[in-house]
A and B are shown apart, each in its own frame.
Chain A
Amino acid sequence: MAKRKKRKLEPPGEVKIGVYVCHCGHNIASVVDVERVREYASRLPGVVFARTNMFCCAEPGQAEIQEDISREGINRVLVAACSPRLHETTFRNAVKAGGLNPHFVEMANIREHCSWVHWQERERATEKACELVAMGVAKLRNAFPLEDRRVPVTRRAVVIGGGVSGLKAAFELANMGHPVTLVEKESQLGGKAVELWQNFDNGQPLRCLVEPMITAVSLNPRTRILTSSKVLNLKGFIGNFEVEIRNEKQSIVEKAGCIIVATGYDFFPPRGNPRYPYASLKRVLTTPELESLIRDNFEQRDGAYNESGSLRYSDGSKIKTVAFAQCVGSRESGDSCNRYCSRVCCLVTIKQSTILAKHFGCNVVVFHRDIRVLQKWHEDMYQEARRAGVVFIRAQLGDVRQDGDSLFIIAKNEVENGRLEYHVDMMVLSVGMVPARDSLELKDVLKIPLSDDGFFLESHPKLHPLETSMDGIFLAGACQGPKDFRESIVTGSGAAAKAQCILSKEELLLDGLVASIDTETCIGCGLCARECPYGVIEMVKVEEEVKGKARVITAACKGCGVCAGVCPTGAADTLGFHEESIMAQIEVALEKNAGEKILAFCCNWCSYAGADFAGVSRLEYPPSLRIIRVMCSGRVNERFILKAFELGAGRVLVAGCHPPGDCHYISGNISFKKRYPKIKKKLEKKGYNPDHFTLAWISATEGPQFQKLIQELDSGLRKGK
Chain B
Amino acid sequence: MANSERCFDLRKGDAHFKDEVVRAAGGETLTRCFACGICTGCCPVSEIDNRFRPSSIIQMVLLGQREELLKSPIIWYCWQCYSCSFHCPQGVKFASVVRVLRYMAVDEGFVSAELMEKLHDIEISVRKVRRRILDEFFEAYEKTGHIPDQIDDIFEKSFLIKDSFSEEI
Provide 14 A-B residue pairs closer than 8 Å at the C-beta atoms, listed in order of the A residue: A321-B10, A323-B10, A363-B64, A371-B34, A386-B31, A386-B34, A389-B18, A391-B63, A392-B34, A415-B36, A422-B7, A422-B10, A423-B10, A423-B11
Report yes or no: A321 in contact with B34, Cβ–Cβ below 8 A.
no
Distance, CA A413 to CA B7, complexed state (A): 12
**Distance between A346 CB and nearest chain B CB, rounded to angstroms:** 13
Distance, CA A414 to CA B56, complexed state (A): 11
Partner of A363, one of B10, B31, B32, B40: B10
Partner of A416, one of B9, B56, B62: B56
Question: Using a CB-CB cutoff of 8 Å, which residues 1-21 of chain B contact chain A?
Answer: 3-13, 15, 18-19
Contact with B along A419-438 (1 / 0, CB 8 A): 11111110000000000000
Query: Which chain B residue has the least Cβ–Cβ distance from A413?
Result: B59
Distance, CA A420 to CA B32, complexed state (A): 22
Please, how many residues of chain A have a CB less than 8 angstroms from a CB on the other chain?
29
A394 at the interface (CB under 8 A from B): yes
Binding site for A on B (CB under 8 A): 3-13, 15, 18-19, 31-37, 40, 53, 55-56, 59, 62-64
Binding site for B on A (CB under 8 A): 320-321, 323, 361-363, 365, 371, 386-387, 389, 391-394, 406, 413-425
Partner of B4, one of A321, A386, A391, A419: A419
**Distance between A317 CB and nearest chain B CB, rounded to angstroms:** 12
Count of CB-CB pairs between chains A and B under 8 Å: 75
Distance, CA A406 to CA B13, complexed state (A): 14
Partner of A421, one of B6, B33, B55: B6
Report yes or no: A415 in contact with B37, Cβ–Cβ below 8 A.
yes
Report yes or no: A391 in contact with B11, Cβ–Cβ below 8 A.
no
Taking A416-B59, A418-B3, A423-B11 as known contacts, 17 extra A-B pairs with beta carbons closer than 8 A to each other, sorted by chain A number, are A321-B10, A321-B13, A365-B63, A371-B34, A386-B31, A386-B33, A386-B34, A389-B15, A389-B31, A391-B62, A392-B34, A415-B55, A416-B56, A418-B5, A421-B6, A422-B10, A423-B10
Which 7 pairs of residues, A with B, have the shortest CB-CB distance? A418-B4, A415-B37, A421-B7, A321-B10, A423-B9, A391-B62, A363-B15
Report yes or no: B35 in contact with A392, Cβ–Cβ below 8 A.
yes
Report yes or no: B55 in contact with A416, Cβ–Cβ below 8 A.
yes
Distance, CA A82 to CA B32, complexed state (A): 56
**Distance between A593 CB and nearest chain B CB, rounded to angstroms:** 64
Query: Which chain A residue has the least Cβ–Cβ distance from B50?
Result: A417
**Distance between B89 CB and nearest chain A CB, rounded to angstroms:** 13
Distance, CA A256 to CA B9, complexed state (A): 62
Distance, CA A321 to CA B34, complexed state (A): 20
Query: Which chain B residue has the least Cβ–Cβ distance from A414?
Result: B37
Report yes or no: B5 in contact with A420, Cβ–Cβ below 8 A.
yes
Find chain B residues with CB under 8 A from A406 CB. Answer: 11
**Distance between B96 CB and nearest chain A CB, rounded to angstroms:** 18
**Distance between A393 CB and nearest chain B CB, rounded to angstroms:** 6
Distance, CA A393 to CA B34, complexed state (A): 8
Distance, CA A321 to CA B62, complexed state (A): 13
Distance, CA A363 to CA B4, complexed state (A): 23
Find chain A residues with CB under 8 A from B32 CB. Answer: 386
Report yes or no: A361 in contact with B15, Cβ–Cβ below 8 A.
yes
Find chain A residues with CB under 8 A from B35 CB. Answer: 392-394, 415
Report yes or no: A425 in contact with B7, Cβ–Cβ below 8 A.
no
Query: Which chain A residue has the least Cβ–Cβ distance from B63?
Result: A391
Distance, CA A419 to CA B4, complexed state (A): 6
Report yes or no: B10 in contact with A424, Cβ–Cβ below 8 A.
yes
Residue of A365, A371, A425 with most partner-chain B CB within 10 A: A365
Report yes or no: A416 in contact with B15, Cβ–Cβ below 8 A.
no
Distance, CA A392 to CA B6, complexed state (A): 17
Find chain B residues with CB under 8 A from A362 CB. Answer: 15
Distance, CA A386 to CA B63, complexed state (A): 12
**Distance between A425 CB and nearest chain B CB, rounded to angstroms:** 6
Find chain A residues with CB under 8 A from B53 CB. Answer: 416
Distance, CA A362 to CA B63, complexed state (A): 11
Residue of A387, A391, A393, A406 with most partner-chain B CB within 10 A: A391
Residue of A362, A386, A392 with most partner-chain B CB within 10 A: A386
**Distance between B56 CB and nearest chain A CB, rounded to angstroms:** 5
**Distance between B37 CB and nearest chain A CB, rounded to angstroms:** 4
Query: Which chain B residue has the least Cβ–Cβ distance from A415?
Result: B37
Query: Which chain B residue has the least Cβ–Cβ distance from A419?
Result: B5
Find chain B residues with CB under 8 A from A389 CB. Answer: 15, 18-19, 31, 62
Find chain B residues with CB under 8 A from A417 CB. Answer: 4
Query: Which chain B residue has the least Cβ–Cβ distance from A417?
Result: B4
